[in-house]
Amino acid sequence: MLLKATIHKHMALAVMMSFYFGLGVIFAQSSPGSAPASEKVFKRSIDFDLTAAWAYRQTLGLNSDSAKLAYSPMITYSFLLDEHNALGIVLLKFSHFPLAANPVYNFAYGFQFKHYWKRKWADLGALVPWISYGILLNQALVANEAGRAIGHNTRVGLGSDIVLAPSHRLVLQLGWDSVDYPSLGSSISNSLESVSIGLGYRFLF
């Protein structure tokens, strides 16, 4: 019951944060006197991503190939620093391994730096390739296990934006995550390494 309450609390927080950011985006877009989208210099973006992951190395009790499969939604709010770089705040990265005998839940928050090789914002259909590096705080909960593990999550991504409209992008991406859950005063620690593939939607404003 405590595990379910914790999960529901995190999901409710994520929904509320997404709602408030969405309102802010809509308000900013509807402000009078704003420049046409084709002429606008974008300063921020919000990303909604959904990936499928496979944990190829782990110590969390995922003992079958199917148990190592996860889905992972992620919400990121980014500041566009210049023509080629962006600094993102990962509001929530939630991973769930539903097919495990004891399902595993991961919640991660942190920062992500993204470098774009080119910025052809206004060209319909243009590809904008990028590479990213993130440092996150990761919290893992295992069903039917007491407590939780907290560790360092390194994330590396490679992908491309596809320009649908001046402020709208479809995102294709590959990712690699490495999480280490150290145990203070003990030689035993837990870890989770996974690869992922996914789609996303990116809105610039």
**How confident is the model over 5-21, as pLDDT tens digits?**
455 455 545 444 554 44
CA-CA distances (angstroms) from residue 59 to 63, 144, 149, 192?
9, 16, 12, 7
Average pLDDT over residues 92-108: 95
pLDDT of residue 19: 43
Residues 30 and 59: their CA atoms lie apart, in Å, by: 49
Q: What is the CA radius of gyration of the chain?
A: 18
3-state helix, strand, coil in the chain (%, to 5): 15, 55, 30
**pLDDT at residue 31 tops 80:** no
CA distance 108 to 82: 26
Secondary structure (3-state) at 148: coil
Q: What are phi and psi of 21, to 5 degrees?
A: -65, -40
Of 185 and 55, more confident: 55
What value does the mean pLDDT of the chain take? 84
**pLDDT, mean of residues 24-53:** 69
Give the residue from 70, 25, 76, 86 showing the smallest Cα distance to 46.
76
- Between 18 and 174, the more confident residue is 174
Is residue 39's pLDDT more than 60?
no
18: alpha, beta or left? (left if phi > 0; alpha if psi -120 to 50): alpha
More confident residue, 146 or 187: 146
Q: pLDDT band for position 56 (50/70/90)?
A: very high
**Closest-CA residue to 149 (of 110, 185, 107, 116):** 107
Give 43's pLDDT tier (boundaries 50, 70, 90).
very high
**pLDDT at residue number 121:** 59
pLDDT category of residue 28 using cuts at 50, 70 and 90: very low
- pLDDT tops 70 at residue 69: yes
3-state secondary structure of 110: strand
* Backbone angles phi and psi of 117, in degrees to 5: -75, -25
- pLDDT the model gives residue 90: 98
Task: Tell me the pTM.
Answer: 0.78
